[in-house]
Amino acid sequence: MAVTRGFLGRRSGGDASRLPPGQHLTADFPVLSAGPTPSVRLESWDFTIRGAVGKPVSWTWEELRALPSETFAADIHCVTKWSKLDTTWTGVRVDTLLEATSTAAGYVTAYCDGGYTTNLPLADLQGGQAWVVYEYAGRPLAPEHGGPARLLVPHLYFWKSAKWVRGLELRDVDEPGFWEMYGYHNYGDPWREQRYSGD
């Protein structure tokens, strides 16, 4: 397992009231990955919602980009204790994608190029809380930050915002993802410091 670390431990100014406990601000955008950055061809890229759904649905890259999108700011918080405020993203709300099918499932596994997975309650992807993003700071999302597209769930620790996301598998029963199987917290609320399984 390769982990690249770009965090230099520097503090920067900002609104401390927006920092969860134990976090430090950074002006950098550190790169941490559970493996090598995959090489992705947009011509063959797709995004699929499958599993416990009325019908599986998929979008090509062009179809995803044609969906209603929004540009928004969000604070992000990494389990390694850095936070970055007012990051700017463009993407499609997960709500918009879920409108294409039906489900009674309560859980989701996000799956990605490179084999990475992470699990979340479906409710945490609904109500304008999560996006599939493809731009950062007005530019196409760089591969080292999860491009061409990543899941963004800013109210949870950043490992839940899966890089290189290719789809969502809806489930009736929760199933731990990659880091969750290695002892990370199953939910990952930064305000409750839910870093590891015993927290």
Domain boundaries, the chain: 16-192
Query: What is the model's pLDDT at position 149?
Result: 98
Query: What is the model's pLDDT at position 78?
Result: 97
Do 61 and 148 meet the contact criterion of CB atoms below 8 Å apart?
yes
Query: What is the model's pLDDT at position 14?
Result: 56
**Mean pLDDT to the nearest integer, 144-153:** 97
Q: Is the pLDDT reported for residue 47 higher than 90?
A: yes
**Mean pLDDT to the nearest integer, 181-188:** 97
Tally of CB atoms within 10 A around 69: 19
With a pLDDT cut of 90, the percent of the chain lying above it is 84
Q: Is the pLDDT reported for residue 101 higher than 50?
A: yes
- What is the distance between the alpha carbons of residues 9 and 82, in angstroms, rounded to a whole number? 8
- What per-residue string of b and e applies to 169-197 under the rule 16 or more CB within 10 Å gives b? bbbeebebbbbbeeebbebbbbeebbbee
**Mean pLDDT to the nearest integer, 80-101:** 97
Burial class (CB in 10 A: 0-12, 13-18, 19+), 31: middle
State which CATH number among 3.30.530.20, 3.90.420.10, 3.40.50.300, 3.90.1150.10 fits the domain covering 16-192.
3.90.420.10
- What is the distance between the alpha carbons of residues 124 and 130, in angstroms, rounded to a whole number? 7
Mean pLDDT of the chain: 92
Q: Which H/E stretch holds residue 49?
A: strand 46-51
How much is the pTM?
0.90
Answer positive or negative: Cα dihedral of 29, 34, 37, 40.
negative
**Mean pLDDT to the nearest integer, 65-76:** 98
Higher local confidence (pLDDT), 70 or 1:
70
